[in-house]
Chains A and B, each alone.
Chain A
Amino acid sequence: MNSLFTSVSAAALASVVVASAQIGGAWPSIANDRLNELSQNEQNWVMPGKNYSQDQYSKLDQINKSNVRNMKAAWSFSTGVLHGHEGAPLVVDGKMYVHGAFPNSTFALNLDDPGKILWHHKPKQDPLARAVACCDVVNRGLAYWPGDGTVPPLILKTQLDGHIVALNAETGAEYWKLENSDIKVGSTLTIAPLVVKDLVLVGSSGAELGVRGYLTAYDVKTGEQKWRAYATGPDQDVLIGADFNQSNPHYGQQGLGVETWEGEAWKIGGGTNWGWYAYDPDTNMVYYGTGNPAPWNETMRPGDNKWTMTIMARDVDTGEAKFGYQKTPHDEWDYAGVNVIMLSEQEDKSGKMRKLLTHPDRNGIVYTLDRENGELISADKMDDTVNVFTHVDLQTGLPVRDPEYATRMDHLARDICPSAMGYHNQGHDSYDPERKLFFMGINHICMDWEPFMLPYRAGQFFVGATLNMYPGPKGDRQGYEGLGQIKAYNAITGEFKWDKMERFSVWGGTMATAGDLVFYGTLDGFIKARDSDTGELLWKFKLPSGVIGNPMTYEHDGTQYVAIMYGVGGWPGVGLVFDLQDPTAGLGAVGAFKNLQHYTQMGGGVMVFSIDGKSPYDDVTVGEYAPE
């Protein structure tokens, strides 16, 4: 009964949209407005990161620091899948959409009676995909497009086997399906798509193996490709135009996607993107980070290797690159630069109001740029233990390396901080605009890198390195704990309002609310709430399995809920999941996270909380079998 009502109201809304579109005549922006509008409604959580700004900040304050201690479990849902669960579910108009690790099932639940599955999309996938995926078989979530009256509302998902699928949000039926990445060439998909206007943006994974990374925009209604921008190669492939980096020519301008590589190595140069995207309707630009160059062995690719490891800003309609700032030229540590970008409006040090983007990078530096022209505003160490760079020169934009912590042949580097996992990885962080604070979940992990060479027969030699990962200097290196931190950071002053150590990495990221709270999950399986001002721990709950996703919040029938996915895995959890393919992942994770197994085991699902555990089932007749 309820679901019928929902679908009728959605159709009614859609027809209103159609009518206004005909009057306005600005069709392409309509879906944008509608999705943007839905994202402003605090009842919803319509996209990864909550809104185009990706601030993961909710104005809901029913749950707040005075009552959070009364938060209790309301209901839960199992995805039926072990392995790592990254990202967060979506909530749109009274329905929750839940994703999962490979085999990438998608579920729709009615929030009035979440005990019944509205629909379940379970794709058949080539099992080869499992073998090709580098670091567990995670997926980071779904996107929603609200429909236009002709085409129904759609759920967009990626599959590990490289396919993008559009599902009818009402029925779960496949609306269109296309192949974005070919697993036969080592490329997979784990990313959550982002819908902007009538486009769906999707990246690519698999940079370890000579895949050339790209970002593609598809027509959300048909799956037709609109543009594709590569990370490396000639300007026409990277979609670099005449005005690229015109405000910051020292970042580099034309021709560098080829010139900063030896020979034709750009063809296999990596630079995939599998993190998150942000979008600003005013600049009409989409912002994201490109990943590490390939092949991994840095001696095989002399040069800066542009435009890998770059914060890219592109016109969303054409894909044309407007600015690009390379954070780690010629990467030698695997600091894949795909992390979250969050948008904010803040006064800079001179008091000038600016539109900013902030990006906690894997290399241990958190960057803030003017998102209109790319100017570098600040670049601070996430933690004072970062040692690969002494600092970032704000004039040149270049990181100043400490050669002691370089990774090269004939040099045994110990205590490199961060490790290859980065001080920050795929976690989706949050920004509290009231406090002007970014809440960052951090890895506190360092590594030794011991290179060696083994010649054998007939001119053959093998260059390898032994990687060991262990807690950073502030952790417990004997007990292998103290591998993570959570910090509140001001991007203008560069100061940390507070910081707290965690037993393991805060891998999944954070969510902030107007209830003066920061929520996050931990690898050992807790969801926690801290005071946004002080970091004081106010509430926690032990989940069935460890967390590598981020919390979200929504309101339904006047009640605020907080939801989080559990399911340990991902890179830090590879020691717990048997199917490991990437040996460095094994080295790093299994070494560093050897104690994780004493705290949690595999699982997979969603847990939902509210004050006093208020739920639809407070009315015990809801969902009961009713004989005729």
Chain B
Amino acid sequence: MNSIERDRTTVSSTTSGQFGLGPLIGAASTAICVALSTGIALAAGAAEGTEAAELRAPDGVLRICASTKGAPYTMKDGSGFENRVAVVIADAMGRKPELVWTDKPSIFLVRDFLDKGACDVVMGLDDGDPRVLTSKPYYRTGYVFITRTDRGLEIDNWSDEDLRKVKTIGYQFHSPAEVMLKQTGLYEDNLIYQYSLVNFTDRRNQFTQVSGERLVSEVANGTADAAVAFAPDVARYVKNSSTPLTMKVIDQNGLTASGELIPQQFDQSIAVRQGDTDLREEIDAALLKVRPQIEAILEEEGIPLLQPNT
């Protein structure tokens, strides 16, 4: 009986790590296996010894959880804007910044890395995320509509008249935009286009997502009439686009037909593990010192900044 359980657990942990891609046999799995072994190595290192002792941030360094698949937030060469913000904060804390990389998408950072003690902070989570302790917010921004400037569309809310001129619209799966599109009546007719952005890859049990860069290029080359994204996902690509693009922050929260409020603007904070109050205090103190440097990085990125709800 035990060995059944053990066997299944093994399968389970392998697969949950990669959402189904783990156990594939064949050439396609090579890259995944590398990612997986990294993950296991990190987690295993942390799992040794007693939890309380090991899951504390070591002195003198700030271990920052980072995904190689998190562009433009995190990028392996350190040029992701969150990588840069993290380094500024670590410096202000008097700690040496250490980026702990994984090839898994960022969405897994808390569960598979922060919680297992492989690293100590995750940048850019929603303020108040219940899985973690969050710092004071260090910026606030929102979802944006992106259109080609030469189209003359000025969409800045989900009831906008100009939204009726939109036939194809790119967005990110699981986002508030997906919820709101269902309210507009655009969702069903647009779905085939949306799936074409991921080459019809099934979303079952794997994290399938459209990159911000892809969304911007779809609008720039005229394939999509518009795109919706969280501003930091697309800001640098909009800024760098050779085709002039218009990016408008969605200025009202959305409401569903049943009256449910769908927020479109969010405070972004730095996450530490539950209970790691010392580290959070250290981060809050550092944030006060380096706010101008952080804002400069965000502005350089092209992110429209709103006033955080502090």
**Residues in A lying within 8 Å of B, measured CB to CB:** 131-132, 134, 184-186, 206, 208-210, 263-265, 267-268, 295-297, 448, 450, 452, 454-468, 470, 477-478, 575-576, 578-584, 586-587, 590-591, 594, 597
Contact = CB atoms under 8 A, between A and B. Distances in A.
Nearest to B16: A466
Interface in B160-180: 172, 174-176
A450 B205 CA distance: 10
Contact of A465 (B8, B106, B108, B205): B205
Given A466-B16, A580-B28, A590-B23, 14 more contacts: A184-B196, A185-B196, A265-B188, A457-B266, A458-B126, A458-B230, A459-B262, A464-B206, A465-B204, A478-B4, A576-B25, A578-B25, A581-B202, A587-B23
Contact of A296 (B20, B27, B129, B203): B203
Contacts of A297: 203
Q: Which of A132, A265, A457, A465 has the most CB of B within 10 A?
A: A457
Given A209-B200, A459-B176, A583-B202, A578 B143 contact: no
A458 B205 contact: no
A597 B25 CA distance: 11
A450 B12 CA distance: 9
Contacts of B191: 210, 267-268
A468 B11 contact: yes
Nearest to B143: A458
Contacts of A470: 8
A457 B230 contact: yes
A185 B200 CA distance: 8
Q: Which of A448, A452, A579, A580 has the most CB of B within 10 A?
A: A580
Nearest to A188: B200
Contacts of A578: 25-28
Nearest to A210: B191
A348 B93 CA distance: 82
B185 interface: yes
A581 B107 contact: no
A584 B25 contact: no
B309 interface: no
B175 A460 contact: yes
Interface of B: 3-4, 7-8, 11-12, 15-16, 19-21, 23-28, 106-108, 110-111, 124-126, 129, 131, 143, 172, 174-176, 182, 185, 187-189, 191-192, 195-196, 199-207, 230, 262-263, 266, 268
Q: Which of B26, B111, B182, B191 has the most CB of A within 10 A?
A: B191
Q: Which of B8, B187, B192, B262 has the most CB of A within 10 A?
A: B192
Given A296-B204, A591-B15, A458 B107 contact: no
Given A210-B195, A265-B188, A478-B4, A186 B200 contact: yes
Given A456-B106, A457-B266, A462-B174, A267 B189 contact: yes
Given A208-B204, A296-B204, A466-B16, A477 B230 contact: no
Given A264-B188, A458-B143, A468 B200 contact: no
A583 B204 contact: yes
B195 A186 contact: yes
A591 B205 contact: no
A583 B263 CA distance: 32
Contacts of B23: 575, 586-587, 590-591, 594
Contacts of B131: 455
B188 A584 contact: no
A464 B196 CA distance: 21
A264 B188 CA distance: 7
Contacts of B268: 457-458
A185 B192 contact: yes
Nearest to A183: B200
A364 B166 CA distance: 45
Contacts of A450: 12, 16
B124 A131 contact: no
Contacts of B129: 455
A199 B193 CA distance: 33
A132 B8 CA distance: 30
Nearest to B185: A264
A39 to B, nearest CB: 38
Contacts of A594: 23
Nearest to B265: A458
Contact of B15 (A460, A466, A478, A581): A466
A468 B8 CA distance: 8
Contacts of A455: 126, 129, 131
A452 B205 CA distance: 10
A448 B202 contact: no
Given A459-B176, A583-B19, A468 B12 contact: yes
Contacts of B266: 457-459
Contacts of A478: 3-4, 7
Contacts of A265: 188
A584 B4 contact: no
Nearest to B110: A454
A590 B24 CA distance: 7
A262 to B, nearest CB: 9
B304 to A, nearest CB: 13
Contact of B205 (A459, A466, A575, A579): A466
A414 to B, nearest CB: 9
Contacts of B107: 454, 456, 460, 462
A457 B126 CA distance: 5
Contacts of A464: 19, 205-207
Contacts of B174: 460-463
Given A263-B182, A465-B205, A458 B195 contact: no
